[in-house]
Amino acid sequence: MTATLQVNPIHSYIDEELIIKIVGAKKNAKVTIHASTYDEKQKKFRSYASFVTNEEGTANVSQQPIAGTYVEADPSGLFWSMEHSGSKLGDYYEKNNADKISIDLILQVEGKEVDAVTINRYFYMEDTIKETVQHGKTIGTLFHPKRKGQYPAVLILSGSDGGAQEHAAALLASKGYTTLALAYFGVKGLPKNLENIPLEYFQEATKWLKNHPYVNGDINLMGHSRGGELALLLGATFDDYQSIIASAPSAYMTPGMKNGVFASVPSWTLNQQTLVNVTFKFRFKTITSMLKNWILKKPISYLSIWDDTLKKQGFR
């Protein structure tokens, strides 16, 4: 009997827990599952986990591995522990669109490849509709349930990378929301940089979403990082939102950005007036330390910049 890899289900939502088993192997055999996939930039990511089969010749990914890219028992460990195979220093998995993620799983028994399975992980399926939005100045991607009805809406704001967080919007829509992944810079038809973005742009997008036939009138805000800062700012400025989810936001308005780097320009405007933001203070010691770490390809911390900035301007 040949060992095989069993995955249930083969097609699943990205947040759905899978059952991954090895069956048909000899007892006490070392079995290894290798997983690989590509991000939007075609960077390859890999992970693996090794197990020892039981008396019945089976093993389950939910048990603790004897070796691998993760060490604790975790049924999703093969997915979150993936590392960029082309870099010894690691890299981010880049994902903004809502396309499915295909993951190749290869089973090895005692070092020999015996089986392979490709699984597909989805952010939305056939019961969700995707629409490109270009209404006036509003640019983004809308997702809503296929079944006619009026649903609570979520306006999703991207962070300092710009573009639109389509994958997040798609997954929420699959749960029964109408979602708008709103772009506000970094795409065609919008500013290139996060600089002098008018809050009225978001007010207009909110009004459009509120009047959409698949929306019940309730608008909720969600943003991560700079999008979280923006979500808090919009909630404090306009009385249009039922709830706000701000992930890793700043408690202060931070400067704008040019080419992905903080610059001495304002981020936001209201009524054609720039909104005052904190001004970053850079000590020579901090700059040299950051430059040294950059040359040595070590992690760079911005914490000292924040501490110096807030102390200098009387926030601490």
Count of domains observed in the chain? 3
One domain for residues 134 and 229? yes
Q: Which of 219, 199, 67, 73 is nearest to 137 (CA)?
A: 199
- Max CA pair span of the chain: 74
Residue 14 belongs to domain with CATH number = 2.60.40.2240
One domain for residues 91 and 212? no
pLDDT at 316 over 60: no
Higher pLDDT, residue 89 or 148: 148
**Per-residue pLDDT at 77:** 97
Strands 243-247 and 215-224: parallel
Name the domain boundary from 71, 90, 122: 122
One domain for residues 215 and 170? yes
Of the candidate ranges 16-30, 80-94, 178-192, the one whose mean pLDDT is the lowest: 80-94
Which residues form the domain of 305?
A: 279-316
Residue 26 pLDDT level (bands cut at 50, 70, 90): very high
One domain for residues 117 and 158? no
**Per-residue pLDDT at 7:** 97
One domain for residues 100 and 150? no
Separation CA 300–CA 296 (nearest Å): 10
Average pLDDT, the chain: 93
Higher pLDDT, residue 166 or 263: 166
One domain for residues 168 and 96? no
pLDDT at 293 over 80: yes
Q: What is the mean pLDDT of residues 186-190?
A: 94
Strands 151-157 and 178-183: parallel
- Tally of CB atoms within 10 A around 236: 9
pLDDT at 142 over 80: yes
One domain for residues 69 and 161? no
One domain for residues 115 and 238? no
What proportion of the chain, given as a percentage, has pLDDT over 70? 98
One domain for residues 166 and 200? yes
Q: Which amino acid is at 101?
A: I
Q: Summarize pLDDT for 194-253 with one digit per residue, the tens.
A: 999 999 999 999 999 999 999 999 999 999 999 999 999 999 999 999 999 999 998 888
Q: Summarize pLDDT for 265-279 with one digit per residue, the tens.
A: 999 999 999 998 888
**Per-residue pLDDT at 89:** 76
One domain for residues 204 and 105? no
pLDDT at 312 over 80: no
Asked whether 153 and 173 are in contact (CB, 8 A), the reply is no
Name the domain boundary from 122, 156, 180: 122
One domain for residues 13 and 105? yes
Q: Summarize pLDDT for 192-204 with one digit per residue, the tens.
A: 999 999 999 999 9
HEC profile of the chain: CCCEEEEECCEEECCCCCEEEEECCCCCCEEEEEEEEECCCCCEEEEEEEEECCCCCCEECCCCCCEECCCCCCCCHHHHCCEECCCCCCCCCCCCCCCCEEEEEEEEECCEEEEEEEEEEECCCCCEEEEEEEECCEEEEEEEECCCCCEEEEEEECCCCCCCCHHHHHHHHCCCCEEEEEECCCCCCCCCCECCEEHHHHHHHHHHHHCCCCEEEEEEEEEECHHHHHHHHHHHHCCCCCEEEEECCCCCCCCCEECCEECCCCCEEECCEECCCCCCCCCHHHHHHHHHHHHCCCCCCCHHHHHHHHHHCCCC
What proportion of the chain, given as a percentage, has pLDDT over 90? 78
**Per-residue pLDDT at 195:** 95
Q: Summarize pLDDT for 45-63 with one digit per residue, the tens.
A: 999 999 999 999 999 999 9
Strands 273-274 and 268-270: antiparallel
Residue 234 belongs to domain with CATH number = 3.40.50.1820
Asked whether 204 and 136 are in contact (CB, 8 A), the reply is yes
One domain for residues 114 and 181? no
Name the domain boundary from 81, 102, 122: 122
Residue 40 pLDDT level (bands cut at 50, 70, 90): very high
